Every structure is written in structure tokens, then in C-alpha cells.
Amino acid sequence: MYKRIVKKNDETDYIDDLLKLISLKNVPMNQVFESSESCFFIRHDVDHSLNMAIEIAQVEAEYGYTSTFFLLPPGSYNEEKNYYGWIDNGEIKHDPELIEKCKILLSHGHHLGFHSDLIASALKWRQDPKEMLQKEIDYFDRNNIRLIGTAAHGSPLARELEFNNREIFEGCIRKGREVGRIIEYNGWKVKTHSLKLEDFGFEFEAYSLPRDSRISESGGKWGGRIVGEQIDREGLFTNFKIQEFRKIISRLQPDAKVSSMQVMTHPCHWKVVEK
């Protein structure tokens, strides 16, 4: 074990200051429903760096943890290409190294999922979300890779038009939002709740998994809810104290009445430090 994974802006050690302090059973995301004891699962939204995801995957495996990495097709950020590929005439072209890198993640005992910006992409590129998703599933199928679930990406267009990308799937309903409504953008329309998770081999949408405790570092800031207590996101960010952070995480004990917890990271907020 020669490497440490450390958060860039506050030096939190991913293993020692976070995972090791969670005294719950670590389970893969598709087994959360079956777990009879308090458990936690790890979700990585790979927005930018698949190489960093590989580093994390390796270290997790060394310590016996399992997690799921959600892959984001290109086009969600203002960049021509990402680790997944690029857009050519409205078609996704896949990075020649994508499959090889996916297989490295799988070789460490982890799972892969789809980081979905589907509603936003369909609107922007004037395409049918079902066809778009099916093409991606077929591509991974051809390469013998299974995506076990999906996790919605929070894109600017979603905020602007007040939808959440998970709403493309049947059953992914948000309070106060109409089921089967039409989202319109530049004259193109997408109907929410029009696809079925199981038609694409997905076992879950990440937001629908039970998680009565959760932590994430969206935007580089720790946030979430641990054993009924909200993390003071801004306070912890402006005045980060590692002891305070460790104390919060250490509350995750088997007797804390947590049923399941989500640890969510974005690999781009982390770096590798040689021991």
C-alpha cells in the first residue's frame, strides 16, 4: 500500500479519515435493498477524471472496499471531449481507451454505472433519449461490460428548466412535479418518466436507493446528513478541522440506527499522494 488518496482542498485521507471510520458493512449499490444489517455503499460520479477513478478503485480494493463508478458521456461540460469520448455530428464516439479503463475498474471488484445527463443531452442534440441510451448500452454490451445502474448528473440545463435527469425513468418521481410532463427546449421535447430502468438492464437509479445518512463533496465541499444531523457545509468548508470531520464520521456506528448510508465522491476533487 504505497499510495494514499487525499482530498485536494482539505487533505482528508479517503481511507483513514473517511472509509475506515464508518463502522458499517460496505455493500455494492445493487445489494443495498437486501442488506439486513446497517450498511454503506460508495458511489463515484466520474464527471471529469477516469484516471483518478482508477487510482481510487485500486486503493479501495487494497483495503477491501467495493464501489460503483458512474460514467458520463461527453457534452455535459463546455469541453469538446472527455475521457468517455467526443461528439461527432451528434453521435457519441468512444475514446479508444475507455473499455480498457473500464475493465481495470471491474478487475478491482467494482461496478460500473451510467452517469445520466440524458434529458439535457436529448434536448441539446435534438435526439430521442431512448435511442441515445440504447446505443450506449449496446456499445458496452459488445465489449462485455454491464452497467448495473444509473445516477443522474446535475447539469445547468436541468436547473434552468427545473427537471432532474433521473426523471426520464418511470418511477423516479419528485415531490410536487408532474409525472409524464413535457420538457421543452429550443422547440425540442422530451417526455419525463418515459423509459424503464429494466429495459436497459439497470437495477436502480442511485437517487432511489435508501440512504438515511449520506455524505458527498460536491463542489469540493463536504455536505450531507450523518445520523440525523446536517453537515454544516459552508462552516466546515471555510474552517475545516480534520478532528471535527473525523468526529462526525465516527458517529456511523452499528448502534446508530442507520439503515444505509451513501458515500459519494467525484474523483476530480482527489489526488494521489505517494506514501
Residues at the site binding Zn ion, with contacts judged by CB under 5 A: 45, 47, 153
10/47 with CB nearer Zn ion? 47
> CA 111 to CA 68: how far, in whole Å?
5
- Minimum CB distance to Zn ion smaller for 45 or for 136: 45
Task: Between 27 and 151, name the residue whose CB sits nearer to Zn ion.
Answer: 151
Instruction: Quote the DSSP letter at residue 47.
Output: S
In the bound state with Zn ion, the residue whose beta carbon lies nearer, of 17 and 205, is: 205
Closest approach of Cβ 157 to Zn ion, in Å?
A: 13
In angstroms, the first-to-last Cα distance of the chain is: 8
> 45 vs 205, which CB is nearer to Zn ion?
45
- Cell numbers found for residue 104: 481495470
Q: How far is the CB of 117 from Zn ion (least distance, A)?
A: 8
Q: Which is nearer to Zn ion, 111 or 153 (CB)?
A: 153
Cell digits for 260?
444505509
- CB-facing half-sphere around the CA of 226: CA atoms within 13 A: 22
Rounded least distance, CB 153 to Zn ion, Å: 4
Nearest approach, Cβ of residue 155 and Zn ion (Å): 8
Q: Which of 34, 30, 226, 4 is nearest to 112 (CA)?
A: 30
Minimum Å gap between C-beta 230 and Zn ion is 22
The least CB distance from residue 99 to Zn ion, in Å, is 21
- Contacts of 100-104 spanning 24+ positions with Cβ under 8 A: 101/50, 101/51, 101/54, 102/71, 102/140, 102/143, 102/145, 103/145, 104/54, 104/57
Q: Which residue is nearest to Zn ion (CB)?
A: 153
Nine-digit cell string for 227: 445520523
C-alpha cell at 158: 436541468
